[in-house]
Amino acid sequence: MSYRTAYERWSGVGPYYAMFPIEFVNEVVLTYTKPGQGIIDPFAGRASSVFAGAAHGRPSIGIEINPVGWIYGKTKLAPAPADKVKMRISEIAEIAQCLPASVSKGLPEFFRFGFSETSLRFLIAARENLDWKRKKTDRTLMTLILIDLHGNRSRSFSNQMRQSRAMSPEYSIRWWQEHKSRPPEIDPQKFLERKMAWRYAEGLPETVKSTVWLGDSCLLMRRVEDLVTRNKREPFTLLLTSPPYMGISDYHRDQWLRLWMLGGDPVASRSENEHRRDFTSQAVYERLLNCVFQQAAEVMSESGCVYVRTDARELTFEITKNALRAAFPKWKEEVVDRPYHKQTQTALYGDKSKKPGEKDIVLTGPGV
């Protein structure tokens, strides 16, 4: 990617596990839709499909249950102007200066090892004052913070960590102690302004009206269906999505530190919500896919396409294929093998076994 356009600069927002490659979503969007035709993604992640659709003139809707993915997608579709974001950074920096010198005392020891007091004061000021759910400027600034909340020690707020996934506090502290690694001393305001300069260098992305909704797809797909049945919008031409894979990753626990930044608890714990976990239960996984795809069938054009990327492991693939067949019984099916040619992200966490790759299930409607 050349990063010579605003679309390319913003498409990489932000680090997330199991992301659609940008080149892939561009190809699918341009192959299966025309300008003006709608795209739906009920498992949007960081909303790469929605952003690609919107940037190519296709009004799109995504649904994402994880606030981290949601805020990335929502911001990409409509970032706030740079001058307003810079002003808000300055305001948060002023608030941070009024906080106690040692704010880490009220937090688990992970935060003392992970961030300098200067960085932590700024992060807490942002956490307590940014209205990221309702205000575009605050959401854009929070997104910029989340991107580099943790990662390489020389390029983020944190001590040395992975960028895509927050490790457990116990493991992190042990690693930092063994390597005598200390959190970087940075000026948060200058740090963010420098990051902004690159992100905004080519301007703001041009998109048609599109959105990402925060919540459970099983519930919010009813809202999408209502829009179509009441003729407030045309049926969708493309369903482009990738549901979470069974037993691969707990997306919410993996993002526990960013979720803390968004107002959550300062601990790496599993969610009690069955749709916010790692889907080790086959029954829960089957119910989710059947629920979402059955509702999706009600909003798709008969001349449309359903393009679903899934895990090539037999159980996950069969559940996904069967759910799609039940929802779209008259649609023509094609399966495309997508073997892995490189190590997967699981190798970063000790699992270096060979993986079977992924499969794309492509359905075309009877009206095509």
Strand residue runs (E) in 178-283: 211-214, 236-241
Does 326 have pLDDT greater than 60? yes
Quickly state the pLDDT bin for 346 (edges 50, 70, 90): very low
Task: State how far the Cα of 364 lies from the Cα of 315, in Å rounded to an integer.
Answer: 23
Amino acid at 170: E
Backbone angles phi, psi at 31, to 5 degrees: -80, -40
Counting other chains too, the contacts that 122-125 makes at CB distance below 8 Å and 24 or more residues apart are 122/92, 122/93, 122/96, 122/188, 122/189, 123/149, 123/157, 123/188, 123/261, 124/96, 124/99, 125/92, 125/93, 125/95, 125/96, 125/99
Residues in the chain: 368
> Which position has the higher pLDDT, 263 or 104?
263
* Residues linked to residue 211 through DSSP beta bridges, in sequence order: 61
The pLDDT value given to residue 355: 58
The pLDDT value given to residue 249: 81
CA separation (Å) from 49 to 39, 152, 196? 8, 27, 24
The pLDDT value given to residue 351: 46
| Among 300, 294, 323, CA closest to 310 | 323
Do the beta carbons of residue 31 and residue 37 sit within 8 Å? no
Question: Where exactly are the structural domains of the chain?
Answer: 6-71+210-244+280-364, 82-199
CATH of domain 6-71+210-244+280-364: 3.40.50.150
Q: What are the pLDDT digits (tens) for 106-144?
A: 899 999 999 999 999 999 999 999 999 999 999 999 999
| H helix or E strand, kind and range, residue 174 | helix 169-178
- What average pLDDT does the segment 9-33 reach? 91
The pLDDT value given to residue 343: 47
| H helix or E strand, kind and range, residue 303 | strand 300-311
Give 101: exposed, middle or buried? Use CB within 10 Å, 0-12, 13-18, 19+: exposed
Quote the pTM value: 0.93
State the DSSP string of 193-209: HHHHHHHTTT-PPP--S
Does 18 have pLDDT greater than 80? no
Give 206: exposed, middle or buried? Use CB within 10 Å, 0-12, 13-18, 19+: exposed
Q: pLDDT averaged over the chain?
A: 93
Alpha helices, H only, 48-168 = 48-55, 67-77, 82-97, 109-114, 117-129, 136-147
- What average pLDDT does the segment 163-191 reach? 96
Amino acid at 101: A
Does 307 have pLDDT greater than 60? yes
Quickly state the pLDDT bin for 273 (edges 50, 70, 90): confident
What is the percent of the chain with per-residue pLDDT over 90, rounded to a whole number? 83
The pLDDT value given to residue 344: 45
| Among 227, 244, 260, CA closest to 308 | 244
Do the beta carbons of residue 119 and residue 186 sit within 8 Å? yes
Does 7 have pLDDT greater than 90? yes
Q: At what angle do helices 282-297 and 314-327 cross, to 10 degrees?
A: 30
The pLDDT value given to residue 340: 57
C-alpha dihedral over 68, 70, 73, 75, to 10 degrees? -80
| H helix or E strand, kind and range, residue 335 | strand 332-338
| Among 63, 67, 69, CA closest to 17 | 69
The pLDDT value given to residue 199: 97
